[in-house]
Structure 1
């Protein structure tokens, strides 16, 4: 499957599950870094009370969500940068937050970027971006795979078991507890590991 077709090949929640085990890479200024995706969250667009595009909200900040499938959407919360990938066709503002990766490439560089040992290196969406060395929104509007940021959709290690839960840090409306967070069960790099079922 081509990388561009993957992001609108299914519903956003199903794509979020299919991303688990895929290899995420970033060609940083000081070397290649990356790892296997072990945790994602799906955001279902205009009907989703926790989504940035809830009720059709459209601003200069969230405009990448309205781009074609595979568009990079980087945003910041409390000074931390997070990576989202738009799914579905243009003007259907759904996306997937990459919450955690298991480092496999350039661990020394990642540790230099974020000097934390073990799982603390990348077990959260802000942590993984810090470890990758991404601290701005320069790549917004790029298509995953066309630039230095890539998710290799044809390079996936199939998880033995995928679990789901409510999304983390979401407290807005009736979508708060919907099981739209997906993770590789028992993987130590998943955020909030102590709360896994």
Structure 2
């Protein structure tokens, strides 16, 4: 599990890059936290997917609609949506208000509240508790009521960091989409066993970047 010796500090809005691809890289190594009535659950972000302006797989691509309105608020808010009509997934709004784009949080390394995660996903192996966007939302108790939440308050559902040391990352193509599959917009922590998807889809010996 991730080292937790440094204090967990909430991220403020001015800490976040106002650019979708930059934010997808920046979020690696940061923490997604959900303070629930039963206690805190959290995980270290090890994989993200960028859905920038102009990308036809971006849910904001058609413009503002009833179902995607939270994508068009100020960056640093949550856009939670249903996928396949069953599973919730959480995205972080990534551009200035009025521009629809977001970063999908694809996988977490569980850190706090692991017993509560296991209660929500009782048949999952520890590695698989939050390995994939639908799994992590379920494990952390994230549902449609979280759509539009401000992730920069340090309360409820929020983003945090432990120190500011750079995190090595690698990049590959996105998965789970049918269009624009060639674009290198999926970022992950090399070597992390918590990264989602088949290992064969990750580049062999992907060079870490900073």
Do these two structures clear the TM 0.5 threshold for a shared fold by scoring above it? yes
Q: 1:188 to 1:32 in 2, by over 3 A?
A: same
Q: CA deviation at 1:176?
A: 2.1
Q: Which residue of 2 aligns with 1:66?
A: 72
RMSD: 1.8
Q: 1:187 to 1:156 in 2, by over 3 A?
A: farther
Unpaired segments ≥5 residues, structure 1: none
Distance 2:99 2:139 in 1: 30
Greater percentage in helix? 1
Q: Which residue of 2 aligns with 1:132?
A: 140
Q: Which residue of 1 aligns with 2:97?
A: 90
TM-score, length-scaled by structure 1: 0.90
Distance 2:18 2:138 in 1: 30
Matching of residues 150-189 of structure 1 within 5 Å: 150-153=158-161, 155=163, 158-159=166-167, 161-172=168-179, 175-189=180-194
Q: CA deviation at 1:23?
A: 1.4
Moved more, 10-19 or 66-75: 10-19
Residue 22 of structure 1 pairs with residue 27 of structure 2: no
1:13 maps to which of 12, 15, 21 = 21
Contact 2:107/2:133 (CA < 8 Å) preserved in 1?
A: yes
Unpaired segments ≥5 residues, structure 2: 1-9, 204-210
TM-score, length-scaled by structure 2: 0.84
Distance 2:146 2:18 in 1: 25
Contact 1:101/1:189 (CA < 8 Å) preserved in 2?
A: yes
Q: Which residue of 2 aligns with 1:112?
A: 119
Q: CA deviation at 1:119?
A: 1.3
Distance 1:141 1:65 in 2: 8
Residues 125-180 of structure 1 show CA distances to partners (whole Å, capped at 9, x for unaligned) of 0000111122x311222210334111114645643x311111111112xx221010
